[in-house]
Amino acid sequence: MEKTRLVIHMHDTEERSRLFQILSAWMELYCAPMELVTEPSLPIQPPVILFWDLDSGTLPPRFPPDSSHALFVCAADHQAAIHSYPFHPNGFLQKPICMDQVEAALKRCIPLWWNALERLEILSGRVRTQVPFCNVTQIEGTRKGCLVHSSLQTFSVREPLYSLESRLPPRIFVRCQRSFVVNLFHIQKLSRQSAFLSDGTEIPLGRCQKDAVWEAYQQFRLLREGQLQL
């Protein structure tokens, strides 16, 4: 299967580099490496997720009615959204574009980037399973190995925590105490004592890890807000 590309068609250089930065950060956050193109050659071939600036004066392409593409139109004026309907875009992004808009937009075309997600391969119950990194909420060390908690289920694996940890992307995972590694993506709130996850779990921070967790979380927040140079 051909790999999906992210394509930006935007004449305004400032806005283009801003969107480039946000999309690069999004790929880091979701561990979904994809080819990111800013000066596409026409016609644009699917599979593609295309961001098209309506203010550049050119009209977006009309794609065949299938699921091999997603079109997001961008403009400074919100009324441009209504006039873009003949092209049936998957979404409208009002400039200046921010990470929240991009995240919401990309959630509308999940099947297009799902295969690009990097995964944690584990052996659980004699079956080799691949869980997308972005779905792993935390990993808990136990006497017999680890419990890999994901947003929907928990997998019991025999591998020790340090071994699993070595296979995790360090930008979004951090060891927060001797037997816990958490995904910064799933931290809802961080206090000096604990990390509160989106599923309601509270994980106390280890004395030696506190500063490292806070530092990693600050870096993560900057990345999430598109302010970290990659």
Partner 1 sequence: MEVVIAICDDLVEERANLARMIQTYSQERDLPIQLCFFSSGEELLDAFHRSQQFHIVFLDIYMPNCSGMEVARQIRAAHDDTAIVFATTSQDHGRDSFDVQASDYLLKPFRQEDVSQALDWCLEHIPESVRCLSVYSEWEQRELPLSTIQYIDVYGHRSRIHTTQSVLVVRRGLDDLEVSIQSPDFLRCHRSFLLNMNYVDSLEGNAFRMSDGTLIPISPSQTAQIRNQFIDWTYIKAWQQK
User: Using only C-alpha atoms, what is the Rg of the chain?
Assistant: 20
Q: Which two tokens stand for residue 58?
A: 């050119």
Provide, rounded to whole angstroms, the least separation between the CB of residue 39 and partner 1.
26
Backbone angles phi, psi at 27, to 5 degrees: -65, -35
Q: Which residues bind partner 1 (CB under 8 A)?
A: 65, 78-83, 85-86, 88-89, 91-92, 94, 104, 107-108, 110-111, 114, 125, 127-132, 135, 150-153
**What is the smallest separation between the CB atom of 186 and partner 1, expressed in angstroms?**
12
Considering beta carbons, is residue 128 or 192 the nearer one to partner 1?
Answer: 128
Least distance (Å) from partner 1 to the CB of residue 229? 28
8 Å CB contact between 131 and 157? no
The residues near 206 (Cβ < 8 Å, ≥ 6 apart) are 175, 176, 177, 178
14 touches 21 (CB < 8 A): no
Six-digit token pair at 181?
């590694």
We find the least distance from the C-beta atom of residue 60 to partner 1, in angstroms, to be 14
Q: Looking at beta carbons only, is 80 or 212 nearer to partner 1?
A: 80
Nearer to partner 1, 57 or 125 (CB): 125
